[in-house]
Amino acid sequence: MTLTPTAQARQWLDDWNQALRSDQPARAADLFEDNGFWRDLVAFTWNLKTAEGSDQLRAMIDATVASTAPSDWALDGEATETDGVIEAWITFATRLGHGEGHLRLRDGKAWTLLTTLKELRDYPEPRGANRPKGARHGVFKDRRSWLEERQAEQAELGYSRQPYCVIIGGGQGGIGLAARLRQLNVPTIVVEKNPRPGDSWRNRYKSLCLHDPVWYDHLPYLPFPDNWPVFSPKDKIGDWLEMYTRIMEINYWGSSECTGARYDEQAGEWRVTVRRDGDTVTLRPKQLVLATGMSGMPNVPDIPGMDSFEGEQHHSSQHPGGEGYAGKRCVVLGANNSAHDICAALWEHGADVTMVQRSSTHVIKSATLMDLVLGPLYSEEAVANGVTTERADLTFASMPYRVMPEFHIPVYRQVAERDADFYQRLRDAGFMLDFGEDGSGLFMKYLRRGSGYYIDVGACDLVANGDIKLRSGVGIEQINPRSVTLTDGSELPADLIVYATGFGSMNGWAARIISQEVADKVGKCWGMGSGTTKDPGPWEGELRNMWKPTAQQGLWFHGGNLHQSRFYSRFLALQLKARMEGLETPVYGRQDVHHLA
């Protein structure tokens, strides 16, 4: 008689628990497949870390178990089995907190184990049964109202009282992290150059809508209501962020620009200078988070003759939208998301548009992405099946980056099949297509390099039928006063040039705000060393520098799409809270720096 999946998972957890408590805990690594994985998010390693294979597993167990003192391993619900893989949700405790995670077993051995820190034991979040009372019942001669407390905090923080944490960048990432820090009672200021929360969306081109669907986009604590559109228009998400910032009582300094920051080793704190309301304020936080956009600084290519151009030229991030370009000859350099959106909007407003595609692009139709790729975790059906956002996020996190392509490649084969005609039409128009170097599609490209794809919401038809003119396999060789010369020697007349040429690594922001020295010390952000284009090896196992300790004390990077910002902000917030409270946070396996940017 074979054991039920639940019994097998329970047996494994018992063995794991016993092995960890034995005098040779590293032997617990034998409970994994030879190429098994243990991904830990802050629970054991105070890091985001994936151990791959027996040697790394043994090392990580040896280094972390004694100080973590894990206990109370238990299943959360019943385990399931699909194609010989048993999956189970688990919970556990550590010396400092409560954790949750996920387990995959094959033939009785662990293929993947995920452990995540959910909450610090001594600092539970004020939610649910633990929510604040709001009213102070009783009578008090010194009563201050909620409003007075808030106003006092806003007046004091950053002036007579220093924040523990400063977040540079008040987009979705900075806002979501600040909400979590507020919940954890970590005094925090968000510094944002735009006046209002949401302006970083509002300021973009008019037709922009989120390319990710609503189920993927929730912020922490306050999910979108069920009448929220699938794809948020940019101004609507801007309003939501503004409202969220207010409701979450975030100390948000709008119209404020960080003009510099340096770490004072002696004092163990930052000196962050901020221009606010015409004054210069120096903030002295212990922790500094750059949440300036996962994409870093705009890449503007250096092309001979740029200075001589008599038309208008700007980077895609500065593009105001299609209005005002009717009848103009527009050249858009690039063929990824922004390039397609901008080309389509220009065409909609009556411009003459040419897209210059230098290298191949991964394209996936929005509806197909929803149905085949996101649907199982993030959709109305998923919600109906009981897949909460929390569960979906953990499921996604349970796949180590190394094996993630295995999960994705078959899905993208389906994608290619379903939309074969669509892809053929694009190829016939000369468009250079790819599905990633290993056929693993959108997410892997996003995780490896953060670029190289377009989620089609309509522009591909314009390319296929020639409404958007396409020049592919070429770049711009030279810019002339009223035209561009392509690398094949041909010339395109131009009134507008848009450089949809992407962004640099996030540590470019560190260079600008702190110093080149610190930027080089922490090195490249994002990507995991896959050895594919724009993501050089060696293999790192986790995204570089994101949401975890960097080589610069007190410096952190936060960013990514709404899903990542929501999920990883929890771990970043817990790391910051633990430090503020003086808990021991020994970091296991801090990464080496292999690339400067």
Segment 464-523, which members bind a second copy (CB under 8 A)?
467
Convert residues 186-215 into a mask of x (bound to a second copy by CB under 8 A) and - (unbound). Answer: --------------------xx-xx---x-
Of the pair 69, 367, the CB lying nearest a second copy is at: 367
Q: What token pair was written down for 204?
A: 């973009």
Q: Residues 64, 116, 183, 299: which binds a second copy (CB under 8 A)?
A: 183
Q: Residues 82, 83, 122, 145: which binds a second copy (CB under 8 A)?
A: 145
Q: Residues 131, 302, 307, 592: which binds a second copy (CB under 8 A)?
A: 131
Convert residues 236-265 into a mask of x (bound to a second copy by CB under 8 A) and - (unbound). Answer: x--xx--x--xx------------------
Q: How far is the CB of 152 from a second copy (least distance, A)?
A: 13
Q: Examine residue 353 and tell whether it contacts a second copy (CB under 8 A).
A: no
Q: How far is the CB of 29 from a second copy (least distance, A)?
A: 39
Give the up-direction half-sphere exposure of residue 9: CA atoms within 13 A in the CB hemisphere: 27
Of the pair 84, 131, the CB lying nearest a second copy is at: 131
Q: What token pair was written down for 366?
A: 């929005």
Q: Are 344 and 458 in contact (CB under 8 A)?
A: yes
Of the pair 2, 227, the CB lying nearest a second copy is at: 227
Torsion angles phi and psi, residue 213, rounded to 5: -80, 165
Of the pair 91, 207, the CB lying nearest a second copy is at: 207
State how beta strands 279-283 and 269-276 pair.
Answer: antiparallel
Q: Examine residue 347 and tell whether it contacts a second copy (CB under 8 A).
A: yes
Of the pair 62, 235, the CB lying nearest a second copy is at: 235
Residues touching a second copy, count (CB under 8 A):
61
Q: How far is the CB of 242 from a second copy (least distance, A)?
A: 8
Q: How far is the CB of 129 from a second copy (least distance, A)?
A: 4
State how beta strands 361-365 and 433-434 pair.
Answer: parallel
Segment 148-177, which members bind a second copy (CB under 8 A)?
148, 150
Q: Examine residue 232 and tell whether it contacts a second copy (CB under 8 A).
A: yes
Q: Residues 59, 75, 230, 411: which binds a second copy (CB under 8 A)?
A: 230
Q: How far is the CB of 250 from a second copy (least distance, A)?
A: 12
Q: Which of 569, 567, 554, 510 is nearest to 165 (CA)?
A: 554
Dist. CA 526–CA 523, nearest whole Å: 10
Q: Examine residue 147 and tell whether it contacts a second copy (CB under 8 A).
A: yes
Torsion angles phi and psi, residue 6, rounded to 5: -65, -45
Q: Interhelix angle for 562-580 vs 389-397, to 10°? A: 80
- Largest Cα separation within the chain, whole Å, is 83
Segment 382-441, which members bind a second copy (CB under 8 A)?
383
In this structure, the chain runs to a length of: 597
Segment 452-471, which members bind a second copy (CB under 8 A)?
457-459, 461-462, 467
- Cα 514–chain centre separation: 22
Strand intervals (E) in 7-144: 32-41, 48-52, 71-75, 80-82, 85-93, 97-106, 109-120
Residue 184 to residues 93, 166, 167, 180, 207: CA-CA distances in angstroms?
A: 19, 15, 15, 6, 37
Q: How far is the CB of 206 from a second copy (least distance, A)?
A: 5
State how beta strands 165-168 and 352-357 pair.
Answer: unpaired
Q: How far is the CB of 376 from a second copy (least distance, A)?
A: 16
State how beta strands 279-283 and 361-365 pair.
Answer: unpaired
- Cβ burial, residue 226 (10 Å; 0-12/13-18/19+): exposed
Q: How far is the CB of 296 from a second copy (least distance, A)?
A: 26
Q: Residues 1, 2, 77, 135: which binds a second copy (CB under 8 A)?
A: 135
Q: How far is the CB of 467 from a second copy (least distance, A)?
A: 8
Please give the helix or strand (H or E) that residue 353 lies within, else none. strand 352-357
Q: Residues 77, 84, 138, 386: which binds a second copy (CB under 8 A)?
A: 138
**Which are the contacts of 50, defined by CB distance < 8 A and separation ≥ 6?**
37, 38, 39, 40, 400, 401, 402, 541, 542
Of the pair 69, 222, the CB lying nearest a second copy is at: 222
End-to-end alpha carbon distance in the chain: 56
Q: How far is the CB of 216 from a second copy (least distance, A)?
A: 13
Q: Which of 596, 463, 400 is nearest to 517 (CA)?
A: 596
Q: Examine residue 274 and tell whether it contacts a second copy (CB under 8 A).
A: no
Stretch that binds a second copy, among 127-135, 387-395, 397-405, 546-554 (CB under 8 A): 127-135
Q: Examine residue 267 and tell whether it contacts a second copy (CB under 8 A).
A: no
Q: Residues 2, 23, 82, 128: which binds a second copy (CB under 8 A)?
A: 128
Q: Residues 1, 84, 129, 307: which binds a second copy (CB under 8 A)?
A: 129
Q: Examine residue 134 and tell whether it contacts a second copy (CB under 8 A).
A: yes
- Provide the sign of the torsion angle of the four alpha carbons 544, 549, 554, 560, taken in this order: positive
Of the pair 89, 347, the CB lying nearest a second copy is at: 347
Q: Which of 421, 473, 455, 237 is nearest to 340 (CA)?
A: 455
Convert residues 364-383 into a mask of x (bound to a second copy by CB under 8 A) and - (unbound). Answer: --xx------------x--x
Q: Residues 108, 153, 155, 229: which binds a second copy (CB under 8 A)?
A: 229
**Which are the contacts of 1, defined by CB distance < 8 A and separation ≥ 6?**
none
**Which are the contacts of 406, defined by CB distance < 8 A and separation ≥ 6?**
none
**Which are the contacts of 191, defined by CB distance < 8 A and separation ≥ 6?**
166, 167, 168, 169, 170, 253, 256, 257, 258, 272, 274
- Cβ burial, residue 461 (10 Å; 0-12/13-18/19+): middle
Q: Examine residue 185 and tell whether it contacts a second copy (CB under 8 A).
A: no
Q: Residues 23, 83, 122, 226: which binds a second copy (CB under 8 A)?
A: 226
Q: Examine residue 87 and tell whether it contacts a second copy (CB under 8 A).
A: no
Task: Give the footprint of a second copy on this chain (CB under 8 A).
Answer: 125-129, 131-135, 137-141, 143, 145-148, 150, 183, 206-207, 209-210, 214, 221-222, 225-236, 239-240, 243, 246-247, 344-345, 347-348, 350, 366-367, 380, 383, 457-459, 461-462, 467
